[in-house]
Amino acid sequence: MSARSRQSIPGTTLFDGTQAIKGYALNKMCYSFNSAANREEFKRAEDSYCRRYGLSEAQRDAVRRRNVLDMIAAGGNVYYLAKLAGIFGLDVQDLGAQQTGTTKEAFKAKLEAAGR
Amino acid sequence: MAKVIGAITTSHVPAIGAAIARELREDPYWKPFFAGYPPAQRWLAARRPDVAVIFYNDHGLNFFLDKMPTFAIGAAPEYRNADEGWGIPTVPPVAGDQRLSWHLIERLVDEEFDVTTCQELLIDHACTMPLALLWPGRDAWPVRIVPICINTVQHPLPSAARCFKLGQAVGRAIRGYDEDLRVVVLGSGGLSHQLDGERAGFINRAFDLEFMQTLPGDPRWATRHSIPELVEHAGTQGIELLMWIAARAALEGEVRTVHSHYHIPISNTAAGLMVMETFSP
């Protein structure tokens, strides 16, 4: 059921139990970024911060490369990932542009076009 | 007895909080969005609710995946906003109404909604933004609130039909409350948008407009769809329209649209607003 619903919408991963299990460590780390002190500590010592949360190899690699699609493939949930992205100064339009392989300007233009 | 004076449904987007704080209401990007709100503000100023019951979805401020309630209801004397990690300025605390909260809890559990009760609850932008949009420029909020959080983070989500029934039960509970309170029911979320995946940036104007058009008179229209179908039509985060369905369901009888507004885009989101009330000839 969950596998089928994940595949049924193109370009979309429903965050279900499978993803929740896979992504727990990464999402837990991102949830910690509600605290400014934790955000600072991540910036100071990214490697040890990720180790403390027990990120998998794939998660650590995706975070190192700031690659959102790979973070989602590794179980990341965008509500939590957005908190990580904020540390890098990226907003949801930066994330959208990166995931769709376009520039932020082109991504924003596409959103505006949806209103016409 | 308490009275449900109407329902207001609105989008929430973190960027709106930043725009309010930076006083960008007249900015060309923001103006067409904020221009939708004065009629709703005037309607509220004339109807003067004492309490707002707010259906919203937490975005990882209060709830994490360690414990994820499907339906959670606030029972706190006061609710605080806090750092959500993405730089939105926090807003002042909002007073609760514990007696009404416990009345709702008792009636909901009685009706077989097994809600999670929260005597401490941090409220995120989804809960505070409707207040900031509907009662702008206040030092103190003019209403007490009862927040009701519906999980939209982790599937399985409650179905649209279930959220409709929850809203109906909340409406019945309010109308059965023994204080002469005027209660407005708010639904915060949507409309179509998707932040994640190769389909990020998805917006569905046709679906949103049909949803808004059917909501007052045929509110079960959207409840015929499964959650994956609604995600397909409205996007992974557009599923927040569940809050609109619950808020609308709290109204009884024939419902009319007092005001509606729709604007694309705010950030990645199709932004909608509706004010609905029970039709009284």
Cross-chain CB nearest to B200 (options A9, A77, A96):
A96
pLDDT digits (tens, 9 = 90+) for B239-252: 999 999 999 999 99
Q: Name residues whose C-beta falls within 8 Å of residue B254's C-beta, 6 or more positions apart in sequence.
A: B217, B278, B279
Residue keyed to tokens 């890098």: A88
Residue B134 to chain A, least CA–CA distance (Å):
24
A104 CB within 8 Å of a chain B CB: no
* Averaged pLDDT for residues B124-145: 93
Chain B contact probe: residue of A5, A12, A94 with most B CBs at under 10 A: A12
pLDDT of residue B89: 85
Looking at residues B23-29, what average pLDDT do you find? 94
Q: What is the mean pLDDT of chain B?
A: 96
Percent of chain B with pLDDT over 70: 100
Report pLDDT digits (tens) over B178-228: 999 999 999 999 999 999 999 999 999 999 999 999 999 999 999 999 999
Chain A residues with CB-CB distance to B86 below 8 A: 82-83, 85-86, 91
pLDDT digit string, tens, across residues B5-24: 999 999 999 889 889 989 99
* B11 vs A: CB within 8 A: no
pLDDT band, very low/low/confident/very high, at B281 (cuts 50, 70, 90): low
What is the CATH number assigned to the segment(s) B3-278? Answer: 3.40.830.10
> Are A15 and B15 inside 8 Å of each other by CB?
no
Instruction: Provide the residue ranges of all domains of chain A, joining segments of one domain with +.
Output: 2-89
Domain positions in chain B: 3-278
Q: Which of B84, B86, B229 to mutate to test the interface with A (most CBs of A within 10 A)?
A: B86
CATH fold of A2-89:
Protocatechuate 4,5-dioxygenase; Chain A (1.10.700)
| pLDDT for A7 | 54
Which chain A residues in 5-44 lie under 8 Å from chain B, judged by CB atoms?
A: 5, 8-17, 20, 24, 27-28, 30-31, 33-36, 39
If you average pLDDT over residues B123-146, what whole number do you get? 94
Nearest C-alpha neighbor of B158 from the set B270, B271, B7, B55 = B55
Residue A93 sits at the chain B interface (C-beta within 8 Å)? yes
- Residue B64: the pLDDT is 98
What is the bridge-based pairing of β-strands B255-266 and B269-278?
A: antiparallel
Q: What is the pLDDT of residue B17?
A: 87
pLDDT over 70 (residue B136): yes
Burial class (CB in 10 A: 0-12, 13-18, 19+), B225: middle
User: Residue A81: what residue type?
Assistant: L
Q: Convert the pLDDT of each residue in B45-58 to its tens digit.
A: 999 999 999 999 99
pLDDT score, position A1:
43
Calculate mean pLDDT across residues B96-114.
Answer: 98
- State how far the Cα of A108 lies from the Cα of A99, in Å rounded to an integer: 13
Contact between residue B251 and residue B277 where contact means Cβ atoms under 8 Å apart: yes
Query: Using CA of residue A64, residue A5, residue A11, residue B238, what is the dihedral sign?
Result: negative
Contact state of B60 with A34 under an 8 Å Cβ cutoff: yes
Tell me which of A4, A38, A92 to substitute to probe the interface with B (most B C-beta atoms closer than 10 Å).
Answer: A92
Report the complex ipTM: 0.95
- pLDDT tens track, chain A, 116 positions: 444 444 589 999 999 999 999 999 999 999 999 999 999 999 999 999 999 999 999 999 999 999 999 999 999 999 999 999 999 999 999 999 999 999 999 999 999 999 88
